[in-house]
Amino acid sequence: MPGSGAGLKAALSKLFGPAKAFSAQAEMNLQAKGSKEPVTFSTPFEMLDGQIRTEMDLAKMKNAQMSAEARQGMKQMGMDQAVIIVTPATKTMFMIYPNLKACVEMPLPERDANAYEKTPQIETVEVGKETLDGHRCVKNKVTLTEAGGNKYEGFTWTATDLNRFPIQMQFQDDSGLQTIRFRNVQLKAPEASRFVPPAAYAQYKSMQELMMNSMQKFMGGRPRK
């Protein structure tokens, strides 16, 4: 999964403007270059003081590149559902697997960590007005340039009745076209406890270690301590 959690590039998190704490349902559509079918999925999306919490459920993800056998294998190992928590202040992220009662803490990829830490240059030009899900929106053409020179170009639709919250983003980069629609936006702070892994969950030092233990349990072996 991307370091910023469930598909949202770290740089795009700078486009939420004054919304420092909110919750919503995010619908992702990732059309990769060279791929005939997009990857689509829906996830609860929460932000609190820069922290991001999302969820992944393979049963709700449409991806032609992942076979039914692969999905079933992940489910049998208890890894088909995950919670992703990103904490930019400490440059870390957590991958939490409720079915395994397990958690992996890992460093953010360097590019994502830098994108969270440094303020990009953002150029915004209004290009029209549209209505999405009953919200009157201002459509903006946006150019976002990271400190390292990486550039994203696309559009945002900011809802006038939600303090200009961008209920839709659409950006193109070298990997393809990414569209994100936020529904049921609640502009209030989520509970801080939702951004901390459960204390009772087993802690692993790497994804490799967790997956090996999961596979051993699946195969009927004795998990490593």
Q: Record the tokens describing residue 172, joined without a space.
A: 């193109």
Would you give the DSSP letter of residue 98? T
The pTM (predicted TM-score) of the whole model is 0.84
pLDDT of residue 5: 45
Rounded Cα distance, 223 and 70, in Å: 22
Rg (CA), the chain: 18
Grouped pLDDT means (10 residues each) for the chain, 225 residues: 50 81 92 81 91 86 69 76 91 91 89 78 95 96 84 92 94 84 96 94 88 72 49
Q: Are 197 and 84 in contact (CB under 8 A)?
A: no
User: Which fold, 10-218?
Assistant: outer membrane lipoprotein receptor (LolB), chain A (2.50.20)
pLDDT score, position 2:
39
